[in-house]
DNA sequence: GCCTCATGTTGAT
DNA sequence: TCAACCTGAGGCT
């Protein structure tokens, strides 16, 4: 689930549920019990996100959450907890259950700011400065596919947006940052600031342009098993939706990379 | 029931 | 470069 759009959507949903309330905070599983007691019943002013980091504000106590690979937040009417629930935030009307977070700690505003200072610009934030990312990218020998996943270069982009934004702009994933053209970087950033806000609205990642949908291409409809319609992510060995050649995959920096070797030749 | 995998990050080798 | 971590879902026996 969690690339930047997921966290920004959660910040909106958590704010809608709890801003202006004094929710009860508990830890059904127990691992967050001590901290939960500190913030339970305090006024909540809302939640915010930057990159893949999320925090919920209880006066000067910030609940800092990183979902990692498997963390989930479920917001629903109160019901008995199911599974391993690290934290429940609840009013009589709604409960938010957090499971499997990689990080879940209380921080002061100063501590939180120090964490956020490590992050590169987030395409989902209006104050983001893409020049900061370009400055890192255009003097790096690392492949652009690796740079896009580096949260200190750019924050919020994960494996799906990485693969898809490179495909949509026909850029080879192995192009070194220093050999990436300014035109390509501008195209990547401009695409991200279109795709990612749409991901927040839809709460899923769709990247296939209308002219390339299976219907438009006269192919049978298909079902992606990860909730969105995409060009190459997790489509290894299948036909490229645009040129029909085999979608390729390899492990880069420990993560699965997907691309079309025919469509993606630009630098 | 057991194994593998996942839109992520960190810390040790 | 690799293993560990957090949890649940799906595929397999």
Question: Looking at residue A237, which CATH number applies to its domain?
Answer: 1.10.8.50
On whether both A66 and A157 belong to a single domain, the answer is no
Q: Quote the pLDDT of residue A225.
A: 61
Whether the CB of A45 is less than 7 Å away from nucleic strand B comes out as: no
Q: Compute the half-sphere exposure of residue A190: CA atoms within 13 Å on the CB side of its CA.
A: 8
Q: Which nucleotide is nearest to A67 (CA to C1')?
A: B8
Last residue of a domain, one of A89, A116, A143: A116
The separation, in Å, between residue A68 CA and nucleotide B7 C1' comes to: 10
On whether both A91 and A143 belong to a single domain, the answer is no
Asked whether residue A121 is domain-assigned, the answer is: no
On whether both A93 and A205 belong to a single domain, the answer is no
Q: Which nucleotide is nearest to A70 (CA to C1')?
A: C7
Examine the residue annotation and report whether A229 is marked as an active-site residue of this protein: no
On whether both A50 and A93 belong to a single domain, the answer is yes
On whether both A177 and A213 belong to a single domain, the answer is yes
Number of other CB atoms surrounding residue A223 within 10 Å? 5
Separation between Cα atoms, residue A5 and residue A198, nearest integer Å = 8
Q: Quote the pLDDT of residue A128.
A: 97
In sequence order, what DSSP letters do the residues of chain A get, joined into one string? --SHHHHHHHHHHHHHHHTTB--EEE-TTSTTHHHHHHHTTS-B-EEEEETTEEEEEETTEEEEEE-TTT-EEEEES-----S--SEEEE-SS-EEEEES-SEEEEE-HHHHHHHHTTS---TTSTT--HHHHHHHHTT--SBHHHHHH-TTTSSS--HHHHHHHHHHTTB-TT-BGGGS-HHHHHHHHHHHHHHHHHHHHHTS-----GGGSTTTTT------TTSS--SSTT-TTSBPTTT-SBPEEEEETTEEEEE-TTT--B-
Q: Quote the pLDDT of residue A229.
A: 86
Separation between Cα atoms, residue A30 and residue A50, nearest integer Å = 27
The separation, in Å, between residue A248 CA and nucleotide C1 C1' comes to: 22
- Better-scored residue on pLDDT, A228 or A255: A255
On whether both A157 and A236 belong to a single domain, the answer is yes
Residues with CB under 7 A from strand C: A 29, 31, 68-72, 82-84, 86, 99-102, 253-254
Examine the residue annotation and report whether A57 is marked as an active-site residue of this protein: no
Contacts of A206 (CB under 8 A, 6+ apart): A198, A199, A228, A229, A230
Asked whether residue A265 is domain-assigned, the answer is: no
Asked whether residue A187 is domain-assigned, the answer is: yes
Separation between Cα atoms, residue A53 and residue A71, nearest integer Å = 12
pTM surpassing 0.85?
yes
Whether the CB of A119 is less than 7 Å away from nucleic strand B comes out as: no
Examine the residue annotation and report whether A248 is marked as an active-site residue of this protein: no
Whether the CB of A102 is less than 7 Å away from nucleic strand B comes out as: yes
Asked whether residue A125 is domain-assigned, the answer is: no
Question: What integer is the mean pLDDT of A12-32?
Answer: 97
pLDDT digits (tens, 9 = 90+) for A231-256: 999 999 889 999 999 999 999 998 99
pLDDT exceeds cutoff 90 at A266:
yes
On whether both A12 and A68 belong to a single domain, the answer is yes
Q: Which domain holds residue A218?
A: 130-259
A213 pLDDT tier (thresholds 50, 70, 90) = confident
Indicate which residue of A170, A255, A262, A266 is catalytic. A255
Separation between Cα atoms, residue A193 and residue A122, nearest integer Å = 9
On whether both A28 and A79 belong to a single domain, the answer is yes
On whether both A185 and A68 belong to a single domain, the answer is no
Q: Which residue, A52, A49, A46, is CA-closest to A1?
A: A52
pLDDT digits (tens, 9 = 90+) for A99-136: 999 999 999 999 999 999 999 999 999 999 999 999 99
Asked whether residue A179 is domain-assigned, the answer is: yes
Cα-based torsion angle of the residue sequence A239, A245, A246, A251 in order, rounded to the nearest 10 degrees: -120
On whether both A136 and A109 belong to a single domain, the answer is no
Last residue of a domain, one of A66, A82, A116: A116
Last residue of a domain, one of A116, A143, A175: A116
Asked whether residue A264 is domain-assigned, the answer is: no
Q: Quote the pLDDT of residue A222.
A: 64
Number of domains chain A contains: 2
Nucleotides of B under 7 A from a protein CB: 6-10
Whether the CB of A4 is less than 7 Å away from nucleic strand B comes out as: no
Asked whether residue A122 is domain-assigned, the answer is: no
Q: Which nucleotide is nearest to A258 (CA to C1')?
A: B7
Asked whether residue A267 is domain-assigned, the answer is: no
Contacts of A183 (CB under 8 A, 6+ apart): none
Separation between Cα atoms, residue A145 and residue A169, nearest integer Å = 13
Lowest mean pLDDT among A7-16, A122-131, A170-179, A244-253: A244-253
Examine the residue annotation and report whether A118 is marked as an active-site residue of this protein: no
């Amino acid at each position: 689930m969690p690339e930047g759009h997921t966290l920004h959507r959660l910040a909106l949903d958590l704010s809608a549920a709890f801003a202006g309330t004094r929710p009860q905070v508990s830890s059904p599983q127990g691992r967050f019990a001590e901290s939960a007691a500190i913030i339970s019943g305090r006024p909540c002013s809302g939640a915010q996100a930057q990159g893949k980091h999320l925090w919920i504000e209880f006066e000067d106590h910030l609940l800092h959450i990183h979902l990692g690979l498997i963390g989930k937040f479920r917001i629903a009417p109160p019901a008995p907890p199911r599974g391993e629930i690290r934290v429940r935030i609840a009013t009589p009307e709604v409960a938010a259950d957090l499971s499997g977070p990689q990080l879940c700690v209380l921080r002061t505003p100063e501590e939180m700011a120090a964490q956020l200072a490590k992050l590169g610009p987030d395409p989902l934030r209006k104050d983001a400065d893409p020049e900061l990312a370009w400055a890192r990218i255009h003097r790096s020998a690392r492949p652009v596919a690796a740079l896009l996943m580096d949260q200190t270069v750019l924050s919020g982009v994960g494996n799906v947006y990485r693969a898809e934004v490179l495909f949509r702009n026909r850029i080879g994933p192995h192009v070194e940052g220093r050999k990436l053209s300014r035109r390509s970087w501008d195209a990547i950033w401009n695409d991200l600031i279109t795709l990612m806000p749409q991901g927040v609205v839809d709460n899923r990642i769709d990247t296939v342009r209308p002219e390339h949908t299976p219907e438009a291409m006269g192919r049978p409809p298909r079902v992606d098993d990860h909730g969105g319609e995409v060009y190459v992510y997790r489509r290894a060995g299948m036909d490229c939706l645009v040129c029909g050649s085999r979608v390729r995959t390899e492990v880069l920096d420990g993560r699965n990379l997907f691309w079309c070797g025919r469509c993606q030749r630009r630098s």
